[in-house]
Every structure is written in structure tokens, then in C-alpha cells.
Structure 1
Amino acid sequence: YGTLLRGLIAAGPRAVVTGRVLAAEPDRPGGFAPALVDSAAPAEYAGRIWSDVLAAGHMAMYRSAITEVGPFDERLGAGGRFPAADDNEFGFRLLEAGYRIVYEPRAVLYHRAWRRARDFLPLRWSYGRGKGGFYAKHLSLRDPYILGRVTWDLGRRVLWLPYRIVRRQRRAIGDVVYGAGVLRGLIEWLWTEPRRR
């Protein structure tokens, strides 16, 4: 974590630093790690962007960031009703509050590849439901940004679908399951969760 902390000190208190997340050797035949970040290029993000760039399992920030934007939303993520996207939602709030997210590729963490092949589709469903919950939490008729994110997220998967059906069938099916999960999570959040940020 030394590289991550040095990056945070250099970036200052209005930044959060995250790094690469690579797959470790599989624990079992066919084992995989689902959420990886493998770019070797440093990057810095600010303002409104069209992707989620905070790897919550591999980040460093000053305590003042959490004091200002609030903690992770426990309704999202592992153990929550919407079992993913807690890091996406937290990263969104950081960027909305004027923080920068700095990607330092020299900071590397290895994610255990313990998931079985049969976990892939249920995991895509869970990730989609969590992302739908995140989108619904911040959806507003006065601000089209999140609606644009939903459209972009689902639309690009639809555009890639013909290619993936031919070349990467497992990924194509995973994208369909993820998209259905996003829609389910979005509707479920709007139906069941009170309007609070």
C-alpha cells in the first residue's frame, strides 16, 4: 500500500487514489476474479464522467473525504439489498463534491480468483441490480446526467451484442443478464426506497 499512500500524499486531501486490480492465479480450475482494473496508464478523473473508476477494494483517501460526502451507502454492495455498486455510487458522490479520483497503475492489488464458472451469471445479475439501485438513487427529472449514464451503460451493451454473440457468447449472455439486473434494480429502488440521497 506504500505506492497508494504516496500517491495520496502527492495528490492532496481533495483526491482519492486507486490502483490496478489484477487477477491472482485461480484457486480452482475455471476460477475467476470478476472486478478487475488492468490499465497501465495513469489517469485522473474529475467532474462528470461516463464510467465508474473507483476500485473500492484498492483505494486510499483522507478521512475528511468521508466526513464531507458521507459513508458508503449500506443499501448497496455486498450484504445490501442491492448487492453491488457501492463503490460506483461513492465515487460518483466524491466527483460531484469536487474531489478527483487518481488512478495510480503502479499500485497493484491481486484479487483472489475464487469464483466458479457457474457464479458468472448470478454475479452479473447482482452487479446489474446494484448498478440499477445506484442509478435510481441519483435519478432526477431536473438533471439528465444519470439518465444519460443508464442509456449509455445499457445502449453500448446492446450495440456490442451481435459481435459478442458470435465471438464471446458467455460475455453476451452476461451482458443481457446484467442489463436485466440494471432495469430490475432501478425499478425496485424507485418502488421501495425513500427519496433521500
Structure 2
Amino acid sequence: MGTSLARHDIFIFTDDDCRVDRHYFAVLAQLHSKIGEPAIIGGRVELGDPTDAPITIKTDMAPAKYGVDSTQFPGGFIHGCNLTMHREVLDGIGLWNERFGPAGIFRAAEDTEMIYRANKHGVPIIYHPDLVVHHFHGRKTIEDIKKLNQSYQYGNGALLGRHLDALPLKHFY
């Protein structure tokens, strides 16, 4: 995986159909220096193409910290297309579970699984709206949305099987 070749201490994850905002790196540096401990930080995901369906975006304008509400499910708290973390996070909890995600057998939920695992290890998970990417996902039809949601549910089911404890059970119940 590319993280083993990285030379710096902060990793940035995005999708091939996203563009980072022109202020992204300045905001990123400020947030990571302000937090001062290994953390996962995600940010706002805006539509890149206004003709795309308004899905796979996150436009909340208030900063938030995951885990404040013990019943909150990690899915959608931050998105994998706009996610950063310290190297120490991966060193402490392990790499991405490659069985999850579009290239894996579970099709989706790679970011949800990572956030869930990090939270279980006490890693702060923070959403900040000033860290912005523009998502050009190209999904326009109801069929596109149905297909994506099927993948999300398949991945979430795999998450439940992988982490069989109270939080995922409560969410799906």
C-alpha cells in the first residue's frame, strides 16, 4: 500500500473524482497543528458538478467530534474522499481493511470501518467544514443512486459481521 512509501507524518486520502479546494493544504496544516495529537480529520464534501445527484456529499457547516454521542454510527460522519490522518493512527490501529471498498469483496464502507476501528482505539475523529473537496462523482439517475446504496448496504452488512458488538447492532436494529 502507498502509505508504506510515504515520507511524511500526515496522510491525505481522497478519490480520483475529487478536487481539493485551493485553501485545502493551508487549512489542513492549521487543523493538524491545532489538534496536536494523532487524529483522523475529515471535512466538507461539495458537489463538483451541480448536475450530479446530491449524494456522497457532506455539507454540514458546524465542526464536530465523533463519539460524543455513544450511539452514533460512524457511517457518513466523515467521508473517505476527504479524510486525513497522522501516520501514528495507522501505526496504532493498522492499515485500511482492503476487503472493504470498491475494489474489495465488500464493495463499500472502507472509511466507516476505519473510523469505527480508530474510535475503538481512542483516536480522536474530527469533522471540520473548512477542509473542502469537490466531488465530481457523475451519478445522475435513480439507477445510479440505487446501485450505490446497494453497495453501501452490502459494506455496512460486512461491517456488522466484522465488528459484532452493540453499536452496529443498535444502528441496524
User: Normalized against structure 1, the TM-score is what?
Assistant: 0.68
Give me the whole-angstrom Cα distance separating, in 1, the residues matched to 2:55 and 2:107.
Answer: 14
Q: What is the distance in 2 between the residues matched to 1:80 and 1:102? A: 26
Structure whose CA Rg is larger: 1
Distance in 1 of aligned mates of 2:90 and 2:54: 28
- Distance in structure 2 (CA, Å) of the matches to 1:54 and 1:46: 12
How many residues get paired? 145
> For residues 127 and 152 of structure 2, what CA distance do their matches in structure 1 show?
22
State whether residues 44 and 101 of structure 1, in contact with CA within 8 Å, keep that contact through their aligned partners in structure 2.
Answer: yes
Larger RCO of the pair (alpha carbons < 8 Å, separation 6+):
2
Say whether 1:146 aligns with 2:171.
Answer: no
Cα gap change, 1:42 to 1:96, in 2 (>3 Å) = same
Structure 1: which 5+ runs fail to align? 152-197
**Aligned mates of 2:46, 2:148 — CA distance in 1:** 18
CA distance in structure 2 between the aligned counterparts of 1:70 and 1:49, rounded to whole angstroms: 24
Give the CA deviation at 1:31.
Answer: 2.9
Cα pair 1:4 1:104 within 8 Å, conserved:
no
Query: Would you say the 8 A contact 2:101–2:110 is kept in 1?
Result: yes
- Alignment RMSD: 1.7
Asked whether 1:20 is paired with 2:44, we answer yes
Q: Does 1:129 align with 2:154?
A: yes
1:49 & 1:4 partners in 2: Cα distance?
28
Partner of 1:79: 103
- Residue 46 of structure 1 corresponds to 67
SS at 2:169's partner residue?
A: helix
Query: For the structure 1 residues 145 and 120, does the alpha-carbon distance in structure 2 shift closer, same or farther, using more than 3 Å as the test?
Result: closer
Instruction: Give the share of equivalent positions with the same residue, in percent.
Output: 28
More helix by share: 1
1:20 and 1:104 in contact (8 A); partners too: yes
Q: State the partner residue of 2:120.
A: 96
